[in-house]
A = this chain, B = another copy of it.
């Protein structure tokens, strides 16, 4: 797929996510971007939709929030395979993980049901190494 130039709003939202410590909700992004002229949720949601489409960000379903992709290809938006997220409930840090074996198992499971997969969500909630050590 060809290079994708981002619009101003899309760049602002992506920037906010890339510079954030962890995942942000749409409304948190909105607040961060008020100084840049954002006034309404839709401005954020529209940008998020496009960024998701381009594969530059991910949505974390279990916490209604968004993170910048850990290994974005800014020139060609691509399909990473299935991504699993480890989400620390203490510090909020999110780790992206990829695993061929995992994809294989999911593929088999779906195949058993003759199910046609469109999108797969894998989110592991728990405690990261730092927050486990006491």
Contacts and interface: CB of A to CB of B under 8 A. Distances in A.
A124 B110 contact: yes
Contacts of A101: 101, 105, 108
Interface stretch (A14-22, A36-44, A112-120): A112-120
Interface in A87-129: 88-89, 95, 97, 99, 101-102, 105-106, 108-110, 112-129
Given A61-B62, A86-B115, A121-B61, A126 B110 contact: yes
Integer count of this chain's copies in the complex? 2
Interface centre among A101, A108, A128 (most CB of B within 10 A): A101
Contacts of A132: 114-116
A99 B109 contact: yes
Contacts of A62: 61, 121
A128 to B, nearest CB: 6
A84 interface: yes
A117 B124 contact: yes
